[in-house]
Structures are given as structure tokens and as C-alpha cells.
Structure 1
Amino acid sequence: MSSLQPIQALNLDSVKQQAFIKYFNSLPEKPPTTVRIFDRNDYYSVHGMDATTAAREVFSSISNIKKMGIEPNKLDYLVLSKGNFEILIRKLLLVRRYRVEIYVCEGPKNNEWILKYKGSPGYLSQLEEILGEDLGTNNDNGPCLLAVNIKTDPVTKGRLLGVACVSANDYQLSVSEFTDDDLLTQLETIAVQMAPTECVVPQTENDDYKCLKKVMDRANITLTKLKRPDFSTEGLIQDLNRLLKFKDSQQHDANSFPETRLNTAMASLAAAIKYTSLLTENTNFGRFRISTIKAESYLHLDAAALSALNVLPELGDSSHSQYRSLYGLLDRCRTQHGKRLLAQWLRQPLRDINLINERLDVVEVLLNNSQLRLQLHEDHLRRIPDLQALARRLTRKKSSLQDCYKIYQAIQRLPSLLQCLGEANDATVHSSLAEPIAELNDDLDKFLQMIEATLDMDAVERGDFLVKPSFDEQLQQLHTELEKVQSQADKELKKAAKDLGLDARKNIKLENNPQNGFYFRVTLKEEQSLRGNKKYTIIDAVKGGVRFKTNNLDSITEDYVQTKTNYEKEQDKVVTEIVGIAAGYSECLFCLSHILSRLDVLVSFAMAASTAPSPYCRPVLTESLDTFLLKDVRHPCLEVQEGVSYIPNDVEFKRDSCIMHIVTGANMGGKSTWMRSCGIAVLLAHTGCFVPATYALLPRLRALCARVGANDREEKGQSTFMMEMIESATILRNATPDSLVLVDELGRGTSTYEGCGIAWAIAEKLATDSKCFCLFATHYHELTRLPAAHPLVIVNSHAEASVVDQQLLLLHKIKPGAATHSLGLHVAKLADLPDSIIQYAEAKQAELETNLFEIESSVKSQETAEGQNLIVDFLKKCQNLEKTITSDDEFITKINEMKKDLLSQNSRYIESLLTV
């Protein structure tokens, strides 16, 4: 961190300070999520509220903030070193997902600032050099921009959404056009699947865009508003003609792609292309592919489900702990592109059973062959660099010889990798992995030959990446001159050694560095031989010895530096030529990166399964929606924790007898864990991974919806109850017979009776209308009556617990039937609540407990039926009165008469109801 003192570092007198404050205050207004940084050559400064933001991000404290100017116009500021600046940029863009503006002073006056660089979560190209290897390694595919345009569908009069996605790292343009509901459910699905870092929308305040903002907030996507003209399609086809890659036989006209007929989506694509400045970089031309987003190809997941199941680590969490997220558990990947693909697969579980089984086939081969699995994991894959990033650098002509050498090393490994895969002797491994790699290996053979012909391998062993002198006539001539100068320096060494009576290269050595050029060095012990000798000029005396030189050595250094400068200039020309030729292989490298990342993820799946405390099983997926069965399913993240002896449970649904479990039981009894383990098993199965169970027979599902956990979103103005209602509304829109729905503790944050009523209504709707598979955990014991109202659809289950000697024993076993009673007070005792509070709570509970179910149970079933018939008869008479009597007074009189008649029946059931 910087040790610069801000006042000294800024070095501005009072006049210049006042002038800067005036300029700073004249800048346009901006949101707090945009941070302005001022480049002052040797350091950077941030001002006003941005100084507070930067101080907290870089120093975790605001103590470094100073003030400039005079009252009443003082301005906070913070000075950052280059290192601090780079830390701040990474945190703002990759973790906070803020926007950044960097101003540079380019005029003779101190306040002639211009906005030179801009960066946002979806547009990082101007700051790629600063972000370096962090770019695209934050559990996603790098910067990905979503653009959304909403119009009214001329046919249905509904919401017509045009969506475009730009992923610059893999040169992909994706579009989609669809009608959506008022909660924008389909848009949220696409946002989860594509994982954009930023979303751009037209500048408007209508209700649809307010709803869109809520969707992006839930998915943690930065929202940016653009001017409406940015969504104009004028000139878009010409732009696409420059950006898109056409096949050799294809007419170079973007109109030939069916996607261009989606007018609303094209408006979004136009805005995205403009925002990301794709046309300003000519290396983008002829590189991009355009495709349609096929959301229906993947299991529907929304942000709530991802969060409920802890699928991905939280933004900024670099620990990737296997206890905290499913990604952390499965991430045994050896390559950066493998890690990115793993995150993508978890967001995009497949729905095609054949594709799922293809992945499962490979994982099964790797699980059954430990030698093959370990060879791939421990030897081959860990030596593969980030080929996607290297290929992109090649495409942009920003590669170095070292980058080319890294690619060369990776290609060199392919034959031994192919030999290893061949030992699997499996048709799926051969067709999906080995064969494509072999074809690419053949295509890349000439790349190997080029690198071997141009790169000085002897220099590589010394850590230098140089072109072979023999490769270029001019280079060879300059190399000869360098050797001649080096020979002259060696002669000077021998001459000095003889003069001082020392052994050359033993007591006296010749060294060279950029600061001093050629110089001699002797140990401190030999320093006395130099004393009083005016032929030699001492540079310094340090622990490593005494460094000195002669006038002749200075002259030789000048010749050497000049010749080396000429050599490097000539080499740069050759390197540019080499990189230009190598760029032609970038397409092959992108393909190789994709296949190797696929192999990496499948090996990672096998490693996670093979190292689990208990065996994983291969799931069986079927087209039938009749049966859903998980035997001894476990939560994969919990079972790997130290000291945990996990108790597995079964999950079973049958279409003709049970599609919903009403789950009751004590807090901490295992209800939520059971539900999450079921959801995770479904997600893993559709991803193509083995699942933590002894047997899994699952239907091919369309959606996985979850309403689990209680989290306020105070920064968004949303309470726990509001979040529950939003997520519940989304579930009701999405749930179909081929969906799995997990609902945990619905109805908190409002009155008990309201909460119970809402939970009842939602559960009944899911069971009878949606007819989805559902685990519905609740503390409202009243809901355990639902199975009686809907037999063959809903059943009761409970987390088993016992009270032994006044002590609560949680068995973490899910059993049929409803929990017999609440154990909340026993849980309170476990939490060491004071005895006085427990005793008072018990007394208050006895006073307040008026459970309608218990009242009904205390009345004989015959009396209950008779009482209910009397009530139905009473309501029918009321309905008839409404049709025949128009006077309010007469209506009330008749009602009172009927009421007296009803009470005269002396029904115990009616009396019990009136006492509640």
C-alpha cells in the first residue's frame, strides 16, 4: 500500500487547488456506482464521495482521506500509488461491479482534463492491461453485456422483449425475442443462464423498466441507462457485415442470418455494439458469431434458486471453499477456462437426456479408471495454460514471444494426452473428446514448426524469449556485432584480472545490467587490491561485493547498448510478423480451449465424486413424470465438513399418490437441509454429474424453483416478507408438472393468520393447479390438514426429534406423517435462553394456544359433520335472501332470526368455533 503523504504527493498550491475544485464541481452529476479517478502521472487521486469509496476498498479505512482548498469549498481527496490504483480498479469492476472513469491531464494547464478511459462490468477492453489475469476468472466468462428493449407486442398486446448479449472474450453475439409476464420471469431465466455483468436499457421510467431493475438487482447485475437513440437499428446491418464471421460459401450479408429478422432484439444488439465499442477495434472484424439464445434447452433456474442452493460463491469470495458453495465443492479444475466452463454448466443444466448421458458416460469412465483420472488431473491438465485468453491476445495482436511459447508447450502435450485418452477404450470418450483434439492437433502442427524455427530455445532455458538470429539476415548481423562487443568486454576482464592479480571469473567477474551496463565485481575481501588504483572507478560497495568499471568498459557499454537497441527493434519487427502468422491459428486455439475445458470439468466431476465421504451414484433420467426417487440422498457440501456424520434421507414422489410433502418438525431438525439436498441432486443430475445418493431415478425437469431462507434486502427497500412474496409469485408463474419446487417457511414477516392463509393458498395452488413436485416445509401446523383435503396428491412428512429427560434430541431423519407437536421451546433451551424466559414462554403459550385443529379433534366426527351441514345450510339461506330481499333493514332482521335458529340447534361444533 502507498506510503505517500497526500499533501506532498498532490503538490498543488492553494490557487491550483481552488482551480481543480472548481473544475471537479463542474463535472456532470453521476451515480455513486461510478467512480472518477484522476491520473497525475506518478500517482492517482480520487475526490469527494469517491475518495471515501476508494479508501474503504483499498485501505478498509477512511483515515487516509485529506482535504484540499479553503472553507467553505473544501474537497475530500485520496492519493493512490500505481499499485493501489490497480487494486481499486479490480475491486470496483470485478467485485463491486461499479463503473470507472479515468481522467488524464493533457494540456499545458493543470486543469485541462479529458476523460481518457472508461470501464464498466460489461465493457473492460480499455482496462484489460490493468486487470490482467483477473479478467474473466471471477467465476464467470469474463465481461458479458446484456441489452434489453421492451415494446408492446402488436399481436398479443403483451410485453415484447428484445434481448441481446455480447461476450467479447469468445466473440459471441446472442439474441432472443419473446413475450414475457409482468414479473419478467423469462428475462430472469436468461439473466441467470448468460450471467451478464452489466445490463443496458433505454432511459425511461415506465413500470416495465422498474420491474426490469428489480430483476437485475436480484441477479446482482449492474444496470446502465442509455439514450433512446442508441437503440436505433440504422446502420446495424453494415456493422454486422464487418463484425460477423461468414463461411466461405456464405454470402457476406448479415441479412442472411435469421436472427436479424428479430427487430426488437436487433435494437438491443445495436445498443450493445455501440456501448462496447466493438467497431473501434479492427481485430474484431470477421470474428463474431451470432446465435439465438435457447433458454428452453436448459433447466429453468432463477436468482432465488441459485442463492437458495448456494450454487455459486458470492461475488468477491475468492476462497472457493467446498463448504460454502456447490461450485467450491466441484472445482477441482486445473485450467482457468475449465473453471469458467464449470460455472457456466452450473448455471445452464441440460434438458436433453442424450447430452446429459454423454457427460455421465465420460464421468463414469473416469470414476472407474483411477489411473486415467489421476493422470489427466495431476499431469496433463495442470500443464495447460489459459488457451482462451492466449488465443484472444493473439487475435488482438497483443501477444508476446512468451505467449507463443506457452501455446507451443500446450500443443506439445497433446500427443501424450491423446495417448492417455486412448487408454480409456471408450466410444464416448473417443468421439466427444479424443477425436476432436486429434483433428486440432493436426491443424496446429505447423504452429509448432513455426515456433521451433523462430524461437531461440537455448535462450528460453535462460528465461529469455528471443528470436533465433539465424531466422533473419539483419538479426544475424546484429547478433554477430553483439558477440563482438561481448568479446571485447571479456578481453577487458582478462586485462583487469591480470592487472589486479586476480583469477578471471573466479575472484573478479564481469557482469551487466540495464542500470550500469558492463562492470566488474570483486568480493569485499579482494577490495584492498583496488585501493589507490586510479584506473578503476568504484560504482558502489555492498554486501555482495565491490562493483567498479574502467573508461574502456564504459565505451564498450555504449556500443553494446546501441547494438542491443537496434537488435531489439529489428526483433520487434520479426515478432510482429510471427504474431501475425500465429493469429491465424486463434480459431483452432479457441476450439481446443473449449474441448480441453470440457475435459477439465468432467475430470473435476469425477474427482469430486471419488473423494466424497460416501459414494456418488449415476442418476437415471427419464421422460416419464410418474416417479421421482432419491435413495439416501445427502447434501454434498455438508457431508465433507470435518466432524459431520451425515444422516441420509429418501425423497420420493409418485404422480398417482404423492406430488407434495408438507414437512413439519423442529428447527434445526434437518428439513431445510433435506430440501436443499434434493434440489442439488436434481441440479447435478441435469448438469451431467453423479449425485450424492445410493440411487437416483429422476424425470427430465423443465424448472427448479426455490423459496428458501429469510434475507432482507434493505439496500433495495425489500423486507423478508416482500422477498418471499416476489419469489412466490415467480414460482406460481413458472411451476408446471415437470418442475421441482422447494418452499421453506413461507409466510414470515406478517401476522400468523395472514401468513398461514398465504402459505395454505400457495401450497394448495401448487398441488392442485401446477401439479408440480414440491417439498413444502412449514411451522404452520394447520397445513398438515391439507393431505386430508387432497388425498393422493399431498402427504405429511416430518423431521424426527425426541425429548429425553427434558433434553431435545434431533435425529435428522425424515419420516412419514406430521410432527406431533412443536419443539420450539426445546430449541430455545439449546440456545441457552435464560430459564425465566423459557418458563414465561411456556405459560404464555398455554394461555394463547387455541389451535383450530385441536378444537375440531376434540369434537366427535359425527357432530363435526352435522355442524358443518348446519353452516352450509345457513350460508345457502343467506344467499337466497340476497336474491329476494332488497331492503337492508329487512335483510338484517331476517339474518338475526336465522342466527337465533342456528344457535338453538345446540351444536357443539358451532359452539367450539364461536369460542376461538
Structure 2
Amino acid sequence: MSSLQPIHALNLDSVQQQTFIQFFQSLPEKPPTTVRIFDRNDYYSVHGVDAHTAAREVFSSIANIKKMGIEPNRLDYLVLSKGNFEILIKKLLLVRRYRAEIYVAEGSVKNSAWQLKYKGSPGYLSQLEEVLGEGLGSNDDNSPCLMAVNIKTDAVSKGRLLGVACITPGDYQMAIVEFTDDDLLTELETITVQMAPSECLVPQTENEDYKALKQVMARANVTVTKLKKAEFSTEGLHQDLNRLLKFRENQQQDAHAFPETRKELAMTSLAAVIKYTSLLNDSTNFARFRLSTIQAECFLHLDAAALAALNVFPELGDSSHAHSRSLYGLLDRCRTQQGKRLLGQWLRQPLRDINLINERLDVVELLVNRSQLRLQLHEDHLRRIPDLQALSRRLTRKKANLHDCYKIYQAIKRLPALLLCLAEANHATVHSSLSEPISELKEDLEKFEEMIEATMDLDVVDRGDYLVKPSFDELLQNLNDQLEELQTAAEKELNLAARDLGFDSGKSIKLEQNPQNGFFLRVTLKDEQAIRGNKKYTILEAVRAGVRFRTKKLESITEEYSQIKLSYEKEQDKVVTEIVGIAAGYSECLFCLSHILARLDVLVAFAVAASTAPYPYCRPAITESLDELVLKDVRHPCLEVQEGVSYIPNDAAFKRGSCLMHIVTGANMGGKSTWMRSVGTAVVLAHAGCLVPATSASIPALRAVAARVGAADREDKGQSTFMLEMIESAAILRTATSDSLVLIDELGRGTSTYEGCGIAWAIAEELAIKSQCFCLFATHYHELTRLASLHPGVVVNSHAEASVVDNQLVLLHKISPGPATHSLGIHVAKLADLPDSIITYAEEKQAQLETNLFETEAAVKSKEVSEGQKIIEEFLKQCKEIQRSTTSDEIMMKEVNKLKQNLLHHENKYVRSLLV
């Protein structure tokens, strides 16, 4: 019987199965990150390796996989319902960042040839909107950013010129940039973090630079797609841009008028993105896009390692948005979808302009201090604002309906009350940056409001109907009259039933209507006995609200009413098309309004997060001077909101001339990493325009925050912990400058102790002396504490306090000046409940190794010194002999120099120390 199951599951006989297997095996080779799905009308199927991928994603098990065909030519397959198909598509594209191909049969799915009908990738979801409609990421930004990169290497200078283009169809934005980069592509990584593409297009080549690019994209969780080099051709691009770009009034209607088009290499990348997204196939894209230059220098530079180290965003696929899991989760108190998207953008692109930062801080500080204003905005006004950006795009693409228009109408109707609320703030920044632009857009949208009131039947909206006013069209009026007559007839049936059953019409017995049952009568459950067994009435269902039933006459009215309403809706569709066409003209205003409301939403979210924290946040003073960075009682905002945590705050101070680098030592779990992350997080929050978790903060406008925190292998990328440390450290050394904050934790693991210590020492000294950046450098190499005496005024020691009381380790989580006095690793091992026998043996071995090491060092030192002294003594004797035997000072110096050169060839450390 088991051999029949596959045939039953796919409803194919053995010949049809074999035919399909032959077709499937004839398909071109594909990477495992592309999944092929076959549309079989009522369900979908996935085959081969893709079946295993789909089974793990949808069912977390491969138990549902079956086999088709006969040995030896059998093929695994998995059948998916439409619901499971949607789950699979979302997980593949939005979480795994895979690609999907959907094949559709022409004619019968049993015998016809299959055609590739739809394609989807992390950066290109437009085609799948046809398949899934609104199902694709209703709570996500379903119009992601798509990037393309072309690299040109100069054979003479060996420099790398990069041309980068990004398109975000949902925002109708095109952005390009052209720049030179190093061999690690550090600038590209910064731009990738800022733009947050889901997918990156590159030419098909084995060039070493593209291997480095692939590593950058892997760190940023961006899917890389290789295209033929011919796709990166600007042939025909000028004409394409003339159709896609929106020109200003009186601007020359020629794409060459944009200075960006002079960046030739970036234009090749833009050409590739336009072809890949098939923008020209949709006429609603014409004259909509804006072309701009990516201004990476306007924002605080953050690479993928810094984002991960500071937990700025939750892990890919984590939809919990828990306050304690990430900075985004903590701050996401947004009420609108556009606000949530903008919050992500602000965290990827913290500002560097002090005036812009202070503008945000002005509003946030006001909202923190004015609790009633904050609550009105958060609990009342913003929560009623729909996703105007998505609705605007639906209008532009002529895919909107009356319900969408009504949502927009409701949002516009709320603007006067919102403006009145903002006016209560009586604040110049609120007025200029929020109230004034909202007021201007409200005036522009008044005609939209009037149109909806003139065309929509607002009286029936409460019952869930979105209809055109009958008086707007003669035929609609006629159909509406018939509907009203049927409504009256239904009400007569209510009165007849009330008299028959002895109930009070409209009170103990009611007439109701819903899409499933049409017209029906309802009584309470306790009155059910009055209709039970009565042949005049048919019971439909019993629910908590009561018993639903109807008469034969009411059933007849329902049927007639449904037919006339269907005719009404068909006629109405023609009018709706006209309304949507007119409403599309307001999409630009709605898009601008969406952005301003999103801005307000994020600022309110910042204020809510700060005002609901366990301890107060403070407004940071953002300074032009790079002389100092001071945080008083700084806390980690995510950790302090965890249940059961009593957070111990710490100070952090940097000042040129006295302290640029803290060498941080202390026990594991003593709070070193948390302190470092607290400082980094506070700096990012301040640059984003948010208050910071501290009692006071003075933060300079920095250029970059770089971090090497945490240890993790990347086995799938062939990178060990040590390799990953070295890659990230190399990037930090290349980019760190005096206006950077660098956080490094436990560098040098994964190799020998002396080698690791040497690397950590060299990197720390480079950052302190050459880069002169603000730096927290946590280490278990106590040798690095000597840097403070070697470089006074630049390097200082700090340590996480811990005490041993009654042979028990007590971690105080307090950062104090000076180095840690001793290592407490064995005490930490006790906390982890290692067996007593292991602890005892470890203590014995530690004592033995320390004794042996001391004796060895002492012996070596003694031997080196005695040998060195003999060599120096012999050198001096020879010099004295030369002085006696030569009469010319010139000859004497030549001979002495020869002796000195011989002396320099000695390997003795004592001698070398004297000669250096």
C-alpha cells in the first residue's frame, strides 16, 4: 500500500510521475539557495533537495516527504497547501534570504509543460505580490532595498573603484555612489549597513575583490546574486531613466541633467538593478523615482561587527521584538508601520550633524517632560494612523480599493486633532519640523477628503460595507432603492416573528445581517425554547450572543438581496476605478505625510522608552570638540529592563592628555563586556537623537563606532574565531581615527598565549598611539597593563571588581581604576559547578606552572645577563687595545665600528638592550 501513497498524494499515475521526473531533471543546475516550487492549482509541490529545505522550514521535520517514480529513478517530494506555501515563501525570502522560482503548467498540470512564471528574491518581491497578494510580509517592509556593486581595479595603482547602486521600489528611490576602497572593502561594509539591502547583485567573475565582497555581504546577512557581465551595461540606460525619473518643474526632461549620471561605474550597477527588477514592465513606475547620491559621511559609521556586538537589531528571523533582546526591540514602541521602518533606518544611520541631533533631542526631551502630551500622541493619535506609505503605493499602482481610500480619509480627518495636540507643546522645534509641514499637507489633501465625502456612502461603513453613494450614479440609485425595499421587507419579517413569538421587536428579538448568513433573526439563549420545534423557523446556529434563525421568507429576501448587491458591486467597481484614478494624484502628498508622521512616531517611541525605563535617562550634550567623552553612571538599556536584574551603573571617561584607552582586566562575568557595550550603546543612542541611560553624558560628534566583542566561529564560512578576530581587527585598524570609539574584548584567543598576547599588545599600542581613538580594551593578558606605564597620559588601567569571601567569589560588577590584582578563573570555574576534584587539581597545576615559569624566567634572565656581561667586557678590552695600537682617530673609529657591528650580531638579549 505504501507504494500507492505518492500517486495518491500528487494525484498522478506512474507515467505522469515519470514524465515529470524527466522534466525536473532536465532543468538547469541551480544553487541550493534557490528553491523551485510547482503550482498545481489547489496545492503546491517541492522536489528533490528543495523538498527537504521546505520540510524543515514549514514543518521542522522531514517526516512529510514522500517519493515518486520507480527505482532507480525516484524523486523526493513534498506537498504544500496554499497556507503552507505562504509560510514557506515568507521564511525563504524574508528570513533565510533565499530565492524562489514558481513554475506554472500551461493547461493540465498532469500532462502540460511547465513554465517558470514567477521569480522572487530577498531584494525583489514584486512578482510574488501577484501570487500572495497582501500575504507577503503584512508587518514587514515588503519593498526591500536591492543593491548592485561593480568593482574596477586599477592595474597600476592597484586601487579599487567601486560603483554602488541601490533601489527601494516602495520609496521610489534610486541612490548611487562611487568611491575607492581598501582590499577589505571597509567603506562598502559601512554603506551596506546604512542602506540595509536584502540582496546584492554582482558580475559573474572569480576576481579576488568579489570574494572579499562576498565576505562583507555574509557578515551583513545579504544574499549575493551573480549576473552576467552584460547586465552591467549602460546601453539604453539613458532612455530608461528618462521614463522612470521624476523631474522637477522647469527642470530639463533629460536624465543627463542629474550629476549622478556622470559616475560611469555606478551607472553600470544602476543599469543592472533596473533590469533585474523589471521596473519598466510596470507603467505605474514611470516619472516616479528620485535619483540621489548616497551620503555615507553624513552618518555614524557602523560595520556589521559593531551592529552585532551592540545588539542593535534582533537576530534574523527573531520576530519577538522583546525589549531585552536588542536596541531595536527596546525602542520599538512605534504605533505605525512607517514608524517601525524609520526606527530601523535611524539606528542604521545615526546622525553626525550636531544641529540635526539636537533637533531630535529637543522633541524627545519635551515629550519625556510632558507626560500628558506624550500619552495623547502615543495612546490616541498615532495608533489610529494606517500605513500611509503602503496605501500611497497601492494608489499609484492602481491596486487600491474603497476600503484603502477610507483608511486614508480617516487619517486625514485625524490631522486637525493631532495638530491641536502638537500646538499645546508650544515649542519652536515641534512647530517647524512637525506641525507646519503636517498643516501644509493637510491643506493639499482637503480635496481628497471632499472627494471621499462626495462619493462614499459613509453611513454604511460601520457595518463593514465600503460602497459608493447611490446618489452618485443613476443606475446605482435604482439598485440601492431595490436593496432598501428588501431591507424593509426583512424588517417586516422581524415584526411578524416578534408578534408570533410574543417578543419585543428590536429588543428581545433582533434582525441582523452578516456576509455568511445574510438576514437572520436572533434571540438570547434563554429564549431558545420559544423557537425549538417550531416549523416556521430554521435555526442556523447557537453562539454566545444567542440563537440565530430565520423564516423561509427571510431566506428568499436574503437570496434576492445578495443578487442585487452583487449587481450593485459590479456597477460600483466602474465608479471605484475612477475614484482610485483621481486619488492616485494625491500619492505624493500622502508619501510625504507618511514620512513626517513616521518621524513623529519614532520620536514619541524614544520618549516612551526613556520614560518607562527603571531609572531616568538623560539628554546627552553633543560636542564639536573631540577632547573628551564622559558618561556618568551609564547603564545598559536592554539589560536593566530584564526581570530580576538590579543593574549596577558605572562611569566611563576619556580625556585627551590623560586617558584615551582603558585596558580593562578582571574576572570573567565581572561586567567588563557589559560596561563596554553600555558605552557603545549610549553613543549610538545619542547620535540617533535619543536620550541615554545615564545620569549625565558629554559625547563628541564621532565619525565611527567599531567593535570586536564576543567569540564565535563561522564554520559555514570557513572562518575560525581567531580568523574572524583578525579580519575584524584589521578593519578596525584601517578605519579608526581620533574621532572614533573602539571597543575590543578578549582579543588574541584561538592561538598560543604568547602569540595572542603579542598581537593584542601590538593592536592596543597602535590604537592608542597612532589612531588616538577613544578605546575600551578588555583583556585577560595582564601583561597589557604595562602599557599604562609605557604611555602615561594615553593609556590607563581599569578593572572589574571582585572579591573572594570565605573562599567564595563575589562579583561586584563595578569598574574601578587600576589593574586587577589577580586572576579569578578558578573561582569562576567553581561558580560553574565544576567537580571539586577538577578544581583541586587545577589549583595544584596552577601553582606548579607559576613556580616553574618563575624559576625558568629567573634562570634564563641570570644566564642572559652573565653571558652578556662577558661579551661587553671582551668588547671593551678590544676597544682599549685598538686605542693603544692606533695613532689616528679616524682609523681608531673605523676599527671600533667594526667591533660594534660584530657585537650587533650577537643574539644575547642583555647586549641588545644596551645597544638599542
Same fold (TM over 0.5): yes
Aligned to 2:893: none
Aligned to 2:577: 576
| Alignment check: 8 A CA contact 2:539 2:548 kept | no
Task: Report the secondary structure of 2:358's partner residue.
Answer: helix
- What are the residue-to-residue correspondences of 1:477-876 with 2, within 5 Å? 477-484=478-485, 526=531, 528-530=533-535, 544=547, 549=552, 560-849=561-850
Aligned to 1:318: 319
2:87 corresponds to 1:87: yes
Aligned to 1:884: none
Q: Displacement of 1:142 after TM fit?
A: 3.9
Relative distance call for 1:870 and 1:760 in structure 2 (3 A) is farther
Aligned to 1:132: 134
1:14-60 Cα offsets, whole Å, 9 max, x none, are 11111111111111111111111111111111111111111111111
What is the CA–CA distance in structure 1 between the aligned matches of 2:859 and 2:367, rounded to whole Å? 61
Aligned to 2:887: none
Amino acid at match of 2:295: K
Aligned to 1:260: 261
**Structure 2 portions without partners, runs of 5+:** 880-897
Amino acid at match of 1:381: L
Relative distance call for 1:516 and 1:338 in structure 2 (3 A) is closer
| Alignment check: 8 A CA contact 1:148 1:164 kept | yes
Relative distance call for 1:545 and 1:456 in structure 2 (3 A) is closer
What is the CA–CA distance in structure 2 between the aligned matches of 1:54 and 1:582, rounded to whole Å? 41
Amino acid at match of 1:83: G
Aligned to 2:462: 461
Relative distance call for 1:494 and 1:313 in structure 2 (3 A) is closer
Aligned to 1:449: 450
What is the CA–CA distance in structure 1 between the aligned matches of 2:75 and 2:561, rounded to whole Å? 52
Q: Displacement of 1:511 after TM fit?
A: 7.9
Relative distance call for 1:250 and 1:852 in structure 2 (3 A) is farther
Q: Displacement of 1:386 after TM fit?
A: 1.1
Amino acid at match of 2:207: N
What is the CA–CA distance in structure 1 between the aligned matches of 2:541 and 2:645, rounded to whole Å? 61
Aligned to 2:49: 49
Q: Displacement of 1:110 after TM fit?
A: 2.4
Aligned to 1:339: 340
Task: Report the secondary structure of 2:638's partner residue.
Answer: helix
1:313-365 Cα offsets, whole Å, 9 max, x none, are 11111111111111111111111111111111011010101100111111111
Q: TM-score, normalised by structure 1?
A: 0.90
- What are the residue-to-residue correspondences of 1:358-369 with 2, within 5 Å? 358-369=359-370
The CA RMSD measured in Å over matched residues stands at: 3.5
Structure 1 stretch displaced more, 101-110 or 270-279:
101-110
What is the CA–CA distance in structure 2 between the aligned matches of 1:169 and 1:179, rounded to whole Å? 29
What is the CA–CA distance in structure 2 between the aligned matches of 1:694 and 1:394, rounded to whole Å? 48
Q: Displacement of 1:482 after TM fit?
A: 3.3
Task: Report the secondary structure of 1:643's partner residue.
Answer: coil
| Alignment check: 8 A CA contact 1:20 1:111 kept | no
1:407-465 Cα offsets, whole Å, 9 max, x none, are 11111111111111111111111101111111111111111111111111111011111
| Alignment check: 8 A CA contact 2:511 2:520 kept | yes
Task: Report the secondary structure of 2:333's partner residue.
Answer: coil
Q: Displacement of 1:703 after TM fit?
A: 0.7
Relative distance call for 1:190 and 1:800 in structure 2 (3 A) is same
Aligned to 1:103: 103
| Alignment check: 8 A CA contact 1:521 1:548 kept | no
1:555-576 Cα offsets, whole Å, 9 max, x none, are x777555433332111001111
Task: Report the secondary structure of 2:733's partner residue.
Answer: helix
Structure 1 stretch displaced more, 234-243 or 6-15:
6-15
Amino acid at match of 1:103: Y
Task: Report the secondary structure of 1:629's partner residue.
Answer: strand
Task: Report the secondary structure of 2:599's partner residue.
Answer: helix
Aligned to 2:885: none
Aligned to 1:914: none
Aligned to 1:414: 415
Aligned to 1:208: 209
2:153 corresponds to 1:152: yes
Amino acid at match of 2:107: G
| Alignment check: 8 A CA contact 1:706 1:741 kept | yes
| Alignment check: 8 A CA contact 1:35 1:50 kept | yes
What is the CA–CA distance in structure 2 between the aligned matches of 1:68 and 1:709, rounded to whole Å? 47
| Alignment check: 8 A CA contact 2:541 2:548 kept | yes
Task: Report the secondary structure of 1:51's partner residue.
Answer: helix
| Alignment check: 8 A CA contact 1:520 1:549 kept | no
Aligned to 1:34: 34
Task: Report the secondary structure of 1:849's partner residue.
Answer: helix
Q: Displacement of 1:864 after TM fit?
A: 13
Relative distance call for 1:512 and 1:419 in structure 2 (3 A) is closer
| Alignment check: 8 A CA contact 1:19 1:111 kept | no
What is the CA–CA distance in structure 2 between the aligned matches of 1:490 and 1:700, rounded to whole Å? 71
Q: Displacement of 1:107 after TM fit?
A: 2.5
1:43-97 Cα offsets, whole Å, 9 max, x none, are 1111111111111111111111111111111111111111111111111111111
| Alignment check: 8 A CA contact 1:243 1:288 kept | yes
Task: Report the secondary structure of 1:530's partner residue.
Answer: coil
Structure 1 stretch displaced more, 263-272 or 445-454:
445-454
Aligned to 1:71: 71
Task: Report the secondary structure of 2:180's partner residue.
Answer: strand
Q: Displacement of 1:618 after TM fit?
A: 0.9
| Alignment check: 8 A CA contact 1:741 1:772 kept | yes
| Matched residues, number | 882
Amino acid at match of 2:15: V
Q: Displacement of 1:242 after TM fit?
A: 0.7
Amino acid at match of 2:535: L
Aligned to 2:242: 241
| Alignment check: 8 A CA contact 2:124 2:146 kept | yes
Relative distance call for 1:184 and 1:871 in structure 2 (3 A) is farther
Q: Displacement of 1:598 after TM fit?
A: 0.6
| Alignment check: 8 A CA contact 1:335 1:386 kept | yes
Q: TM-score, normalised by structure 2?
A: 0.90
Relative distance call for 1:859 and 1:135 in structure 2 (3 A) is same
| Alignment check: 8 A CA contact 2:660 2:795 kept | yes
Relative distance call for 1:667 and 1:868 in structure 2 (3 A) is farther
| Alignment check: 8 A CA contact 1:618 1:695 kept | yes
| Alignment check: 8 A CA contact 1:153 1:179 kept | no
Amino acid at match of 2:761: W
Relative distance call for 1:874 and 1:838 in structure 2 (3 A) is farther
| Alignment check: 8 A CA contact 1:86 1:131 kept | no
| Alignment check: 8 A CA contact 2:671 2:813 kept | yes
Amino acid at match of 1:697: S
2:300 corresponds to 1:295: no
Task: Report the secondary structure of 2:713's partner residue.
Answer: coil
Q: Displacement of 1:274 after TM fit?
A: 0.8
| Alignment check: 8 A CA contact 2:7 2:13 kept | no
Amino acid at match of 1:530: K
